[in-house]
Structure 1
Amino acid sequence: MGILHQEPLPLPDLRVTLEDTFLVFPSQETERKSIFLSNIDQVLNFDVQTVHFFPPHPDFPPSVVARKLQNALSEVLVPYSFLAGRLSLNKELGRLEIDCNSAGAGFVVASCQHSLDEIGDLVYPNPAFRQLIVQRLDKLGQHDQPLCIFQVTAFRCGGFAMGISTNHSTFDGLSFKMFLENLAAQAADKPLPIPPFNDRHLLAARSPPRVTFPHPELLKLKLPVGQDQAPPAFDCQEDDLDFQIFRLSSGEISSMKEKAKAGSSATGVKVTGFNVVTAHLWRCKALSCDTGNLDRESTVLYAVDIRQRLVPALPRSYTGNAVLTAYATAACRELEAGPLGRLVEMVAGGAARMTDEYARSAIDWGEMHKGFPRGEFLISSWWRLGFGAVEYPWGKPRYSCPVVYHRKDIILLFPDMDDDGVNVLVALPAKEMELFKTFFHKFLLLEN
């Protein structure tokens, strides 16, 4: 229970050398067309990087893996033709779209002078892991950057890292996991297990748009859509923040769930691992602000998958972003005094609010106003996405994780390496971090 690491790792520089950089094109000709991006996709024009670590394999040294991945990527770029395209702004409509022009995905071959074991605990959010990702290709112009770039980095021991940078407008977490499964199948010369469904008009706004709910979780934009500036929400400097990882074991989470069930007066509340962890973190984060005003309201934001909440449901293989931001709001006094079960009810209620009509209203709100999520902080969960369960010809990853940027207003949930527990990354100013730690342990003792 508690903090995994308090000191920085001894390897701030992984001494990575880029050996080769090139473009990978679809293995056969694909149709030239424009891909419609939904209002959810529109506001996610930023890159997301993940790193997947693999131990040495006698039959698959890094050079062989790089060739197999290059070939598999070329094959998978046929059904995923938009990944070989480029983002463009349709000036007539004022919307971003993807030009499926077969301009190619990026591919980088690199080497590291350290062994995999020498780079430290893979769960630790080492800023040096950014060296395992290439975000842009310098030889290409600003408007010709690939939407997807792979980097295969060979370690001295024979292990390797597969770093992938994708523009978030292309995938959400679930559809990226399906992409990895399809990529792994192609690398093994097997058919696609989940052929992608690429038509994003299923999440188009209604005509005319109908906003039938208030949406306090959304903030109107003052900038025209497509303009390359950071969103006004969650725009905190990384400087002067302490960061810690807190681990909750599967046993602790189970105890929290039992405590929440016993303390809930509502019927039919979903007491899930995510809901109890979110409720616990919400309370700790809100109270750590130390404003002294217990009447202050705190709003926590978290993503909800809407695939099965829509009528009719989206196809399982839908490739776009199909998540919307749910929220829960309460006064700090209630968060401090309320039993865990009551807080879980509020978190679960935020997700239950996401019906077909609410989701359509939020999408239509985006059509009318353009905007971003608004709240005190966001919980971004990579816990159950299952990237580490993907089976490649060379086996499953030892660990898969995003490359993190420490942000006061975002708390990240990562899977644990050994059991079904969760690792929680928190970044706060030093004084707030001390308070957060105090509340984290205090309430955890009460909840177990």
Structure 2
Amino acid sequence: MGNSCQETPPLLLQDLKVTIHQASMIFPSKETHNNKNNNNNNNNKSLFLSNIDKVLNFDVETVHFFAANKDYPSSKVAQKLKDALEDALVAYEFLGGRMKMNSETGRLEIICNGEGAGFVVASCDYRLDEIGDLAFPNPAFAQFVHKSKDFLKHGDSPLCVAQITSCKCGGFVIGFTTSHTTFDGLSFKTFLDNLAALASNKRMPVIPSHDRHLLAARSPPRVTFPHPEMLDLGEFPTSAEAGVFEASSEELHFKVFHLTTDNINRLKEKAKDSNVNSRVTGFNVVTALVWRCKALSFSPPDPNRSSTILYAVDIRSRLSPPLPKSYAGNAVLTAYATAKCEVLEKGSFAKLVEMVSEGAKRMNDEYARSIIDWGELHNGFPSGEVLVSSWWRLGFEEVEYPWGKPRYCCPVVYHRKDIILLFPPVAGSDGTDNGINIIVALPPKEMEKFKNFFYEFLI
């Protein structure tokens, strides 16, 4: 079994020789209310941001790799993508807006002022098959997204920038930089489906719902549960308290641990116990395994130390009434599980899976509303030893563009040792995948311990 779980060799190009040819702003293809009033900022519509949105005030960078298509050379794709984005900015008006602090309410919001999104055309001096294993988190993939946002004026910061980079083979890469305040993973997938439809001259399959007041705090706020998974930073937060979201200054090694479908099924069998009542899913068993390995790789080891794992739970269907599936903002909260390291090392795997399962089960309507209300009263965010961020079944690679589905999609890796990513592997030649990739970044000594525990607990 251990031989089927492989690490990806880190044979990485450091410079992908990307040249920027054009960087410009794009605007809605049709007139909107704010196009009419963009000379009067007082008339610009503001988009309310929920307490979930406002915590996620950072950029998310994703890259989407496409094989060559003789009917769609990169120049044609660039034009179609640009036109589709301009159409999308009509339905997703906030993407062409700007973030601003409301001086009256003291809340972060998006002003829908029609200032536009960014669009970049670039080229790469390599073929797709020369840039390495797409599933391995090469930091050089950052060259496929645009860092500088000063397109028209100094200090301007668009909420969405798209970059298309053509490769020597005719393949190409589309990189998106979006503020996390605009989308969570599920709503970004919907955005991509809509964008692909527009690029095919079709109607959008989903009309986005923009009413983020659906996740507003209650009045008055009612915190009805203790929330040990939340860290209150007080009025003056310090970077030392920034927890899992803080970039590490340490040297980090990146590794991809691959679990096959057989590996996952064996973990599920291992998690079944007549004395334990838990929902044994692929996500729960993988998360329990990651939690155990991450907690025990901590140095120095201490069996009495408590470890808390955080993991995202979509609350759309858990609220009463449920959110519309087309909800375009962030509708994900962090569930948690806590245990002593001694339990994580010596306890049954079934018990760990049960704790992960219980954390998600806890996230009902009242618990979710309690967390949102907590955010109304406190300046803080989720805090734990490790956050598992799952992109495993978001389906970015299933988006059907006129030029075909992506060969692979992944985030640009960040220097954070306490966030572990779950991703599907590159699909096989028959279009199917096999298992899951677990992307880990840790200091070298901790990585060695993580690796040893990972293989040991698979047996």
TM class by shorter chain equals over 0.9
Any gaps of 5 or more consecutive residues in structure 1? Answer: none
Q: TM-score, normalised by structure 2?
A: 0.93
Distance change (3 Å), C-alpha of 1:339 and 1:374: same
User: Structure 1 runs of 4+ off > 4 angstroms?
Assistant: 140-143
For 2:162, the aligned partner's letter is F
**In structure 2, which of residues 334, 345, 350 is the aligned counterpart of residue 336 of structure 1?**
345
Aligned residue pairs total 440
Equivalence for 1:239 = 250
Contact 2:417 2:440 (C-alpha < 8 Å) held by counterparts: yes
**In structure 2, which of residues 128, 139, 145 is the aligned counterpart of residue 127 of structure 1?**
139
Contact 1:264 1:342 (C-alpha < 8 Å) held by counterparts: no
| 1:8 Cα offset (Å) | 3.5
What whole-Å deviation, never above 9, does each CA across 1:168-209 have from its counterpart, x for those lacking one? 000000000000000000000111101100110000000000
**In structure 1, which of residues 137, 145, 150 is the aligned counterpart of residue 157 of structure 2?**
145
Contact 1:31 1:100 (C-alpha < 8 Å) held by counterparts: no
Equivalence for 2:289 = 280
Structure 2 SS opposite 1:335: helix
| 1:264 Cα offset (Å) | 5.3
**In structure 1, which of residues 352, 373, 387 is the aligned counterpart of residue 382 of structure 2?**
373
Contact 2:63 2:410 (C-alpha < 8 Å) held by counterparts: yes
Contact 1:73 1:183 (C-alpha < 8 Å) held by counterparts: yes
**In structure 2, which of residues 298, 320, 343 is the aligned counterpart of residue 311 of structure 1?**
320
Distance change (3 Å), C-alpha of 1:327 and 1:141: farther
Equivalence for 1:423 = 437
Q: Distance in 1 between matches of 2:298 and 2:212?
A: 40
What whole-Å deviation, never above 9, does each CA across 1:334-389 have from its counterpart, x for those lacking one? 11112211110000000001010000000000000021111111111111111000
| 1:250 Cα offset (Å) | 1.0
Q: Does 1:210 align with 2:212?
A: no
Distance change (3 Å), C-alpha of 1:103 and 1:340: same
Equivalence for 2:179 = 167
Q: Distance in 2 between matches of 1:440 and 1:218?
A: 28
For 1:266, the aligned partner's letter is V
Contact 1:53 1:399 (C-alpha < 8 Å) held by counterparts: yes
Equivalence for 2:8 = 5
**In structure 2, which of residues 124, 127, 133 is the aligned counterpart of residue 112 of structure 1?**
124
Structure 2 SS opposite 1:384: coil
What whole-Å deviation, never above 9, does each CA across 1:128-155 have from its counterpart, x for those lacking one? 1000001332244565311000000000
Q: Distance in 2 between matches of 1:127 and 1:170?
A: 24
Contact 1:136 1:146 (C-alpha < 8 Å) held by counterparts: no
Structure 2 SS opposite 1:78: helix
Structure 2 SS opposite 1:265: coil
Equivalence for 1:94 = 106
Equivalence for 2:189 = 177
Task: Give the fraction of aligned pairs with identical amino acids, expressed as a percent.
Answer: 61
Q: Does 1:248 align with 2:280?
A: no
Moved more, 240-249 or 118-127: 240-249
Contact 1:106 1:149 (C-alpha < 8 Å) held by counterparts: yes
Equivalence for 2:41 = none
Q: Does 1:28 align with 2:33?
A: no
Structure 1 SS opposite 2:61: strand
Equivalence for 2:69 = 57
For 1:328, the aligned partner's letter is A
Q: Distance in 1 between matches of 2:405 and 2:441?
A: 30
Structure 1 SS opposite 2:298: coil
Equivalence for 1:300 = 309
For 2:258, the aligned partner's letter is R
Any gaps of 5 or more consecutive residues in structure 2? Answer: 35-44, 428-432
Q: Distance in 1 between matches of 2:236 and 2:90?
A: 33
Structure 2 SS opposite 1:349: helix
Equivalence for 2:20 = 18
Contact 1:299 1:328 (C-alpha < 8 Å) held by counterparts: yes
**In structure 1, which of residues 257, 266, 275 is the aligned counterpart of residue 268 of structure 2?**
257
Aligned-residue RMSD, C-alpha: 1.6
Q: TM-score, normalised by structure 1?
A: 0.95
Contact 1:211 1:361 (C-alpha < 8 Å) held by counterparts: yes
Q: Does 1:76 align with 2:88?
A: yes
Moved more, 205-214 or 142-151: 142-151
| 1:239 Cα offset (Å) | 3.0
Distance change (3 Å), C-alpha of 1:126 and 1:30: same
Contact 1:278 1:347 (C-alpha < 8 Å) held by counterparts: yes
Equivalence for 1:392 = 401
What whole-Å deviation, never above 9, does each CA across 1:232-265 have from its counterpart, x for those lacking one? 122242431222111001111011112212x352
Moved more, 89-98 or 422-431: 422-431
